[in-house]
Structure 1
């Protein structure tokens, strides 16, 4: 039974470690806003920091930042508990690994939020900024003039700048959504089985 817990948690720990290695490398070798292109203008490292959620989304003000960090901590505890529950009840291995990815991503960004403020950013505990660096502006252009609201304005796909932790969360969530029938077959079978015998008249 112990082996069932080893692989998911080791996978999560490896992703957290790799995420932190990349973030610290970026902090030590790049200045804020610097770009290192590896796919021309379609793929690059761009060093940014944000106060908020995945892909640079934010909650306003210092109170919002603190609330988000505390929410992340509670969420990680819940995800960790859920992962143990899935393993204990022998859910689909794919589902277990996807939840492990989500856990790893959440932990990776929590480390930034909780500790980076004190370590690097001259901020108090729980007020650190999350380090992002991957940027893939694959398509750039302008909306047609007839397009509602944004007509004539510039558009970029894919605009968000993200980190490895964000990627782990996104991959985990997307694959769970795409594989719901396969991952939750165990649960559906239990629900469809009779709880009691039919009593004949």
Structure 2
């Protein structure tokens, strides 16, 4: 089984967009946290998150997206559970790959919510995820013009499929992403003084 370093190298060899790389690092962090919560294999779950969109930059067509990545991963000897979950997170593949297992449900649930959280952080004065409230994310979800690429239905459906309350899910993912905020570029650039000004 390839290592996390192998997975990161594979992902970055195909993904040059820094924002897409950070998206996959966000999903990796959320998946690792959920694996710990559920007593599952942390490395397996984290790697699934890290690799889930590895072919998207080169193959954005939904009929190809995940199919190409699945072949890459098979060629490199990745666990079939990872490949299945990645295929299952693309609704185009649901007939052949229904989200019937916890890993697949976890990936689907973590995918879109990380994008909404990131977008919400980036419009904060501090540009920091520290102290981000669930209510702020929910408020932005209601704004149709905000982060238009994030599918609101998928956000809600993801939490439902995983069997978690949406607010609790958002809070959990915020916490997971906060642990790697610097890597995600969400640690903020404001000084303590300007942060205080933003609060006031």
TM class by shorter chain equals: under 0.3
- TM-score w.r.t. the length of structure 1 is 0.24
- TM-score w.r.t. the length of structure 2 is 0.25
Where is the strand percentage greater, Structure 1 or Structure 2? 1
Where is the helix percentage greater, Structure 1 or Structure 2? 2
Which has the larger Rg? 1
